[in-house]
Amino acid sequence: MTSQINPNNVDGTYPVAGQPNNTQGFRDNFTNIKTNFSYAETEITALQNNGIFKAALPGTTLDNNMADNLIYAVKLNDVSHTYVQNTASSGSITIDYSAAQYQYVSTTGSISLNFSNFPVSGSAGIVQIAINVTSTAHTLTLPAAVTLGTTGIQGYSAGVITFAATGTYQFAFSTSDGGTTITIYDLNRPLNYFTNEITSASSIKSTSPTGGIGYGTGAGGTVTQATNKSTGVTLNKVSGQITMNNASLAAAAEVSFTFTNSTIAATDVVVTAISSGATAGAYNTHVDAIAAGSCRISITNFSASPLAEAIVINFVVIKGVTA
């Protein structure tokens, strides 16, 4: 801002000592001084209202609210963010974005998160939340707007996160459309799937005596066959169970049914195994045809007599490629 104050329009040599002086010179000086004071008042008031200060000016309260105005080409060092401990500990909890970029919740029961005061659409905002889960019975329900980043989060299913152990879990939530669409980030746990493509020829190994390698909660589902053992079933999951119809299957007979599943590609491998509901050693099951979106599952009765059982078949889809 260029100041309008003009010190050169005041004649500092007037009046001249020892001689008569025209009164018009006095009037001109007083008018110009008054005009400069008026400019000074306007400019000082503007600085008081619009400037950023390290401390409050005399007679004022410090308020460095930028009102969403742009600051750019900034080099920062030793920056801290406001931290707020939310007093609510169960039920519906609203995270006020404008209150702090780092917030903390300790649970006394299951909680449902809500958000308020995200930046307007077109501006990006992110808030981090530390949740101290004091009981594995406590769950975290996310708002319906959290639709991105949920894949692979441990314990996530249909908008609800369950926790296998007590402790403090760190999450971040971001949006660029005013909270209509929100992305979640799990900051202190690995996701339940390989987030990076593996290009090494080395094999993937699990050293855990109990963890193993496979799909996590949320990847599976169940379906029950209707009518008879040749009736097709549909389940669009990479893992799960098929409960077959309990219609009779003759001795030494084989029956097949179509399993429609949108997760299956023609290059995939579908593995099946009998889980329960069957006479021990009486059946064999296998997949003998795979296409995009479906496969054919066959089951054979090896026993010497007809069997009418609701066989439960486990299945997994292993993804494969030809190049």
As a whole number, the mean pLDDT across the chain is 92
Helix (H, G, I), strand (E, B) or coil at 304: coil
At 12 the pLDDT is 87
Cα–Cα distances in Å, from 198 out to 194, 202, 264?
8, 9, 21
Q: Check residue 66 and give its pLDDT.
A: 84
Task: Assign 49 to helix, strand or coil.
Answer: helix
**pTM beyond 0.85:** no
Residue 246 pLDDT: 97
In what side-by-side order are the strands of the sheet with 233-234? 233-234, 254-260, 294-301, 283-291
Confidence of residue 261 (pLDDT cuts 50, 70, 90): very high
Decide if pLDDT at 204 tops 70: no
Residue 195 pLDDT greater than 50, yes or no: no
| SS3 of residue 30 by DSSP | helix
Give 116's strand partners. 96
Give 196's pLDDT tier (boundaries 50, 70, 90).
very low
Of 319, 315, 317, nearest to 241 (Cα)? 315
pLDDT band at residue 141, thresholds of 50, 70 and 90? Answer: very high
Structure tokens at 309: 């059982």
Average pLDDT over residues 78-83: 92
pLDDT band at 144 (very low <50, low <70, confident <90, very high): very high
Task: Note the pLDDT tens digit of each residue in 222-242.
Answer: 999 999 999 999 999 999 999
Residue with more model confidence, 155 or 208 = 155
